[in-house]
Amino acid sequence: MKLIVQGGTPLCGRVRVSGAKNSSLALIAASAISGEEVYLDNVPKIADVKTQMEIVRALGGQVSWEGSNTLRLKWHGSLNTDIPYSMAKKIRASNLFLGAMAAKKGTIKIPLPGGCNIGSRPMDLHLKGLGMLGYDVSLEHGYIEARPGKLKGCSIYLDFPSVGATENIMMAAAGTPGTTVIENAAKEPEIVDLANFLNAMGGRVRGAGTDLIIIDGVSEFKGTRFSVIPDRVEAGTYMIAAGVTGGEVTVENVIVKHLQPVIAKLQDVGLTVDANEDQITVKRTGDIVATDIKTLPYPGFPTDLQSPMMVLLALAEGTSLIVENVFENRFQAADELKRMGAKIQVKSHTAVIEGVQGLSGAQVKASDLRAGASLLLAGLAAQGETEISCAELLTRGYERVVGKFSSLGAEIKCLSEEDDGLELRTSLTASEKEDPQASRASS
């Protein structure tokens, strides 16, 4: 799939942020723990959710859309214990069925997961956690297998506050007898969402959002209805888009606190940011100035917004530094941005970005989801036409990305060989132009 972007138009208007991809993927897996029906509201219709739904079905669970953004999930009867390689290779979050299915069935076999090509992404902390809870865990022929041994809560220290490992251990421990303590746990908002969801199903999880999470294992989980938090990365992408195009964009349906690290950097570069209850307006009134960014686990600056921020810094006055501390291979957008006139030098974990007056349209290729987002932002800021290939990667994490950007005035055409049902349309319907909310209901 290709996107053809005509740059140079300042983006203006309001955009409603969808439910969080990373939360939805964890919650879909976690629903397996319950024996009763679970409803998840505010789930984005994106490719990664579609893949996670395929995995639910492959494991014998039932999942369907009920209305625009609600998923109905039910896990009962005899469930399978294997996830097919063809599905796991598409998405890193397939690994989250490890903890959930361990809690549900005791036994689970998953292929080593795939996902974005941004670094080696090992699973050692996940395996260490399950092993300490008493699972016999093996890694052979590309498959991880967990079988129940003598299961008992314990104290687990994570060398790094891995989001996925924290989630897997929380889910497995939620159904393991005794008390489990995770030290140096990840503090991301999606971890808090998962803890709240587990508790809504009858789990007993405390401390999520701090680096010490305490889980008292329970034996039964009930059904529930739960609404996923807004996607802070999608919100951040539209906020940065206002800056790179020199416009004014209001993101609606956000949790302002989750975006504080992003707001602080946008203010540093000279953008005006007004936050108010559940919406944030970003406006560019003058030049962008250089700044330095270090990506860190939450509440540090999110690695998922590092490449979109690189576009903003490429247009700043002066020289900026980005240090990537979370993934070792996350500067892949840099070479493509250089095709568009950006001046970026990458050495190991650091990118040096010398600001230029403007970018120019070019043919570029998305290497991963967030690199794709940065190329879209660069295309919108550039003079002339940008052709982005492998643009289907954007559908992994951005709901109705073409429709939403178009509603802000972006000129984007989507050349797709097939309609994959993810609403990558080239233009808005008449009703959406009059009422951007209408577009949400139709998705």
**Contacts with ligand UD1 in 19-48 (CB under 6 A)?**
22, 25
Helices (H), 201-259: 232-245
Among 88, 123, 269, 314, binds ligand UD1 (CB under 6 A): 123
All residues at 6 or more sequence positions from 136 whose CB lies less than 8 Å from its CB, including other chains:
146, 147, 148, 149
Between 305 and 408, CB nearer to ligand UD1: 305
Query: Which C-beta is closer to ligand UD1: that of 122 or that of 142?
Result: 122
- Per CB under 6 A, the list member of 88, 93, 228, 315 interacting with ligand UD1 is 93
Shortest distance, CB of residue 357 to ligand UD1, whole angstroms? 32
- The answer to whether residues 152 and 177 touch, using CB atoms and an 8 Å cutoff, is yes
153 or 302: whose CB is closer to ligand UD1? Answer: 302
Q: Which of 152, 147, 308 is nearest to 237 (CA)?
A: 308
Least distance in angstroms from the C-beta of 268 to ligand UD1 = 21
Q: Which two tokens stand for residue 225?
A: 């209805």
- Alpha-carbon dihedral angle through residues 41, 47, 48, 50, given to the nearest 10 degrees: 60
Window 315-344: contact mask with ligand UD1 (x via CB under 6 A): -----------xx-----------------
Count residues binding ligand UD1 (CB under 6 A).
Answer: 21
Q: Are 293 and 301 in contact (CB under 8 A)?
A: yes
Give the list of residues 6+ apart from residue 289 with CB closer than 8 angstroms, or none: 268, 269, 270, 316, 317, 318
What are the DSSP E strand ranges found in 12-57?
12-16, 38-41
- Residue from 65, 68, 76, 119 in contact with ligand UD1 (CB under 6 A): 119
**Which residues are annotated as catalytic?**
116
30 or 123: CB nearest ligand UD1:
123
Cis peptide before 261 (omega within 30 of 0): no
Q: Which range touches ligand UD1 (CB under 6 A), out of 120-128, 147-155, 281-289, 408-416?
A: 120-128
Stretch that binds ligand UD1, among 163-171, 271-279, 305-313, 352-360 (CB under 6 A): 163-171
Candidates 16, 45, 104, 121; binder of ligand UD1 (CB under 6 A) is 121
Count of CA atoms in the C-beta half-sphere (13 A) of 394:
29
* Block residue for tokens 């951005």: 398
Judged by CB under 6 A, the residue of 163, 191, 239, 334 near ligand UD1 is 163
Tell me if 125 contacts ligand UD1 by CB under 6 A. yes
Task: Give the closest residue to 423 by CA, choosing from 441, 407, 403.
Answer: 403
Q: Please, are residues 184 and 250 in contact by the beta-carbon 8 Å criterion?
A: no
Instruction: Sort 47 into a burial class: Cβ within 10 Å, 0-12 / 13-18 / 19+.
Output: buried
What amino acid is encoded at 8 in this protein?
G
Nearer to ligand UD1, 239 or 305 (CB): 305
What are the distances in angstroms from CA 186 to CA 47, 210, 314, 400?
25, 8, 31, 29
Residue number with the shortest CB distance to ligand UD1?
Answer: 164
Interacting span for ligand UD1 (CB under 6 A) from 137-145, 155-163, 217-225, 358-366: 155-163
> Residue 122, interface with ligand UD1 (CB under 6 A)?
yes
Stretch that binds ligand UD1, among 116-124, 216-224, 266-274, 375-383 (CB under 6 A): 116-124
The residues binding ligand UD1 (CB under 6 A) are 22, 25, 92-93, 119-126, 160, 162-165, 303-304, 326-327
